[in-house]
Amino acid sequence: MSLYLVERDLSRVSHERLRLEQGKLASACGELRTEGRRIRYIRSVVVPADGRSLDLFGAETAEAIKEAHDVARLPYARITEILDFTPSFVHSATSRPRRRSLARALDRPAEHPGKGLEHTMNPGPEIARWLADGQRLFGICLEALENAEQLQVRLQMMETENQMFREEIARLRHQVDLLRTDRAEMVAAFNELAGHVTQVVDHILSESEDGENTQDPKM
């Protein structure tokens, strides 16, 4: 995966709206990941003096970044692929302010011509090795984070399915209890009916026998 910097205009965006737009971007990236796209919304910095924001993304292509902004329905000024030159021996707690300063320096004119970034940093074999190692480790970390998020999504889905199964089992048990109650009532009603029919048959047979006994003397 590569790093991309997205520049957006915030001159007419309030603080509350900015937070809302950041949430939309994060949701859009989550939707794309569920579709199998490799993209991650990493960080945002704001340049108050210029009214701009710089959003850092990790993705395979710039098209994925464009698609995320289309899903979130957010405009942007430009999308630029960048390289992370932070050495591996610099702790993250101390590198963050340096990265913020670097982001601002990249978007401001140089105060002293001839002393830009290319003059302060002369890439050599050691920096190239740091860059290769950093990009490789960054890709591994992003892949691990994506796998963890996918596992979390699967876990949530399984919990939802288990809850549905528990509710379905409870419903089926309730239906079984109702059917058992109906069966007991039907058995009781059938026994009562059978007893009544037996009484009627016995009464009919008794009357028939009495009738035959009354006719014998006349014969």
The distance from CA 123 to its chain's CA centroid, rounded to whole angstroms, is 41
Residue 33 has pLDDT above 60, yes or no: yes
For 176-192, what is the mean pLDDT? 88
Torsion of CA 19, 100, 49, 56, to 10 degrees: -50
Of the two residues 54 and 117, the one the predictor is more confident about is: 54
- Burial class for 1, CB neighbours closer than 10 Å (0-12, 13-18, 19+): buried
The distance from CA 173 to its chain's CA centroid, rounded to whole angstroms, is 32
- Per-residue pLDDT, 57: 92
Residue 44 has pLDDT above 70, yes or no: yes
Q: Tokens standing for 44?
A: 């945002």
Using DSSP, state whether 10 is helix, strand or coil. Answer: coil
The model's confidence at residue 75, banded by pLDDT at 50, 70 and 90, is: very high
Give the span between the Cα atoms of 131 and 119, in whole angstroms: 18
- Per-residue pLDDT, 219: 52
Please name the amino acid found at residue 132. Answer: A
pTM: 0.43
Question: Residue 53 in contact with residue 44, Cβ under 8 Å?
Answer: yes
Give the span between the Cα atoms of 86 and 96, in whole angstroms: 10
The model's confidence at residue 76, banded by pLDDT at 50, 70 and 90, is: very high
- Per-residue pLDDT, 145: 76
- The pLDDT > 70 percentage for the chain reads 72
- Per-residue pLDDT, 50: 85
- Per-residue pLDDT, 6: 93
Residues 133-173 pLDDT 10s: 776 777 777 777 777 777 777 787 788 888 888 888 988 89
Residues 87-134 pLDDT 10s: 666 555 444 444 444 344 334 444 444 444 344 444 456 666 676 677
The model's confidence at residue 1, banded by pLDDT at 50, 70 and 90, is: confident
- Per-residue pLDDT, 68: 93
Using DSSP, state whether 58 is helix, strand or coil. Answer: strand
Residues 60-72 pLDDT 10s: 899 999 999 999 9
Q: Tokens standing for 157?
A: 């889905």
Sequence ranges of the domains in the chain:
2-160
- Per-residue pLDDT, 138: 72
Give the span between the Cα atoms of 66 and 76, in whole angstroms: 9
For 9-26, what is the mean pLDDT? 88
Question: Residue 68 in contact with residue 25, Cβ under 8 Å?
Answer: yes
Instruction: Indicate the class that CATH gives domain 2-160.
Output: alpha beta
